[in-house]
Amino acid sequence: MSDNTWDGNVATLPKDYVQTLLGMLDKNDVLAVRLGLTGKGIRPNYQLIHIDNSVTAMNGANHKKFENVEEFDISRISEPLTRCDITKMLLNG
pLDDT of residue 4: 63
Show the domain range for 35.
10-92
pLDDT of residue 71: 65
CA angle 39, 41, 46 (to 5 degrees): 75
Q: Is residue 18 part of a domain?
A: yes
Q: Is residue 35 part of a domain?
A: yes
pLDDT of residue 2: 47
Q: Is residue 4 part of a domain?
A: no
Q: Is residue 78 part of a domain?
A: yes
Cα 86 from Cα 55, distance rounded (Å): 19
Q: Is residue 84 part of a domain?
A: yes
pLDDT of residue 70: 65
Which range, of 21-25, 69-73, 87-91, averages the lowest pLDDT? Answer: 69-73
User: Is 77:7 a contact under the CB 8 Å cutoff?
Assistant: no
Q: Is residue 49 part of a domain?
A: yes
Give residue-wise pLDDT tens across range 6-64.
888 999 999 999 999 999 999 999 999 999 988 888 999 999 999 999 999 999 999 99
User: Is 1:41 a contact under the CB 8 Å cutoff?
Assistant: no
Q: Is residue 83 part of a domain?
A: yes
Q: Is residue 3 part of a domain?
A: no
Number of domains in the chain: 1
User: Is 76:26 a contact under the CB 8 Å cutoff?
Assistant: no
